[in-house]
Amino acid sequence: MGKEIRLKFGRRIRRLREKKGWTQEELAYRAGLAVRQVQYLESKNPSPAKIDTIEMIAKAFGISCSRLLDL
């Protein structure tokens, strides 16, 4: 995943999370992730997301991976 794609992905996660009124902590809990993982993904220098992480986040939002990745 290139940096620009990672940045877009992080912004998408943030928008979806905020639309639901969730904190980073709440998303992490619902997705079964560490809060730090969510923080990294939404940061200005995001780390690459593993497919398992993408699946867990999509499931937490109740959407498909393809919809979550609609960059």
32 residue type, one letter: G
Question: What's residue 9's pLDDT?
Answer: 94
Q: What residues make up the domain containing 54?
A: 3-68
Residue 71's pLDDT band, with cuts at 50, 70 and 90, is low
- What is the widest separation between alpha-carbon atoms in the chain? 29
2-56 confidence digits (pLDDT tens): 889 999 999 999 999 999 999 999 999 999 999 999 999 999 999 889 999 999 9
Per the confidence metrics, is the pTM higher than 0.95?
no
The number of folded domains in the chain is 1
Check residue 32 and report its DSSP letter: T
pLDDT of residue 47: 84
User: Computed from CA positions of residues 39, 59, 2, 11, in that sequence, does the dihedral angle turn out positive or negative?
Assistant: negative
Distance CA 3, CA 24 (A): 21
In 3D space, the residue among 27, 35, 11, 34 whose CA is nearest the CA of residue 60 turns out to be: 27
